């Protein structure tokens, strides 16, 4: 998406943990890597531990939103934990450019 279009379709939202989030529409295409990154971002913003993604309720919610996901497609807390340092760097860099 061209930056001008992203700017036109974006809005600011306040995250529960006090983070300012940019919500951009239309959504980017689904990829498993992007899905895992967004899950790591959610865990960071929520202030909960990565174990959140191991919850059966979380798995059920993800499969309601994307029915074609299989159990093995959903990342484990270990996978999310491994992504958190890089996602925190990305968030810090984005905050520095805001």
| CA–CA gap between residue 22 and residue 13 (Å, rounded) | 6
Condensed to tens digits (0 to 9), the pLDDT of residues 41-67 reads: 999 999 989 999 999 999 999 999 999
Residue 33 clears pLDDT 80, i.e. is over it:
yes
The answer on pLDDT for 8 being more than 70 is no
Write the pLDDT tens digit of every residue in 14-29: 555 556 666 655 678 8
Residue 36 has pLDDT above 90, yes or no: yes
For residue 98, what pLDDT is reported? 60
Q: Which residues face 20 on adjacent strands?
A: 14
């Amino acid at each position: 998406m061209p930056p001008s279009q992203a700017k036109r379709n974006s809005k600011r939202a306040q995250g529960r943990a006090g983070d300012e989030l940019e919500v951009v529409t239309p959504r980017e295409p689904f990829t498993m890597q992007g899905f895992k990154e967004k899950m790591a971002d959610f865990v960071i913003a929520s202030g909960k531990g990565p174990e959140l993604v191991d919850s059966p309720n979380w798995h059920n919610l993800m499969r309601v939103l994307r029915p074609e996901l299989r159990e093995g497609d959903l990342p484990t807390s270990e996978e999310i934990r491994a992504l958190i340092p890089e996602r925190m760097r990305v968030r810090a860099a984005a905050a520095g450019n805001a």
